[in-house]
Amino acid sequence: MRNAWRAWQELSGLLLPVACAGCGRPRTELCTACGAALHGAPARLVRPSPRPPGLPAVYAAAPYENAVRAVLLAHKERGALGLAGALGRALAGCVRAGAGWPGDAGPLLLVPVPSARSSTAARGHDPVRRIAAAAARDLRRTGLPAQVLPLLRQRRAVADQSGLGARQRRANLAGALELTAGGGRLLRHELLRHGLLRLGRVILVDDLLTTGSTLAEAARAVGEAGGVGRESSVHGVCRAAVVAASPTAFEINRN
């Protein structure tokens, strides 16, 4: 059923009239102006306030507002799957900024933040994993070896995050993520193979940063499972990249 729904989404995008997901301009899925809002500026280091403990350095392409917000929602909630390429290109720029990319440091390991199974089933796709795959393709096209490692899964159900404050979100997500069966062994193999001291090889990826609680929990799970501990995971192994972040997270790092 899910595959049939996905096929219908892709077919309808070809047959039905198209309008820009960002501004509604006809005959294009993403116009030049809205595309520039996504990836027309360099990726920026962003930081929510308050910053949750354990949050790694996070790079974002654009503030979550106006056209960028509309494009992300169209892809995530309305199944506009053709937008994954543009969103992946924006995410790839953030991955490059976060990795710093010394050319001989080994591959970039993109670890998507997992969606709840119920959300994935309702949407018919996993938006973050789809964007991560598009970002990895973009990175490889420019000569940077990258692969998506879907290592994380939800250990327990969490409440709907909408309407929760920063402290409530941290409590809601504490201990909620873990590595998949075999994920810990795979991660340790990759880290040992390419060296634990090579900064930024593991990049946590998500579509959006708000309070940072989700990425902090993902960093905890990856760091503990990788056998490097919280502080090492934050400062030595992990970085994070998102397509968009709350406007206030951008404002904090202007100063």
Mean pLDDT by groups of 10 residues along the chain of 255 residues: 53 63 92 94 93 92 97 92 95 89 68 80 83 96 91 71 61 69 73 54 92 90 64 58 95 61
Q: State the sign of the Cα–Cα–Cα–Cα dihedral 243, 127, 68, 214.
A: negative
pLDDT of residue 225: 63
Helix 183-194, helix 213-225: angle, nearest 10? 80
Give start and end residues of each alpha helix (H) in the chain. 2-15, 32-39, 66-77, 84-99, 117-123, 127-141, 166-173, 183-194, 213-225, 229-232, 247-252
pLDDT of residue 167: 67
pLDDT of residue 164: 57
The answer to whether 200 and 175 are in contact (CB under 8 A) is: no
Return the SS3 of 52.
Answer: coil
- Per-residue tokens: 131: 């964007």
- Per-residue tokens: 154: 């939800």
The answer to whether 203 and 99 are in contact (CB under 8 A) is: yes
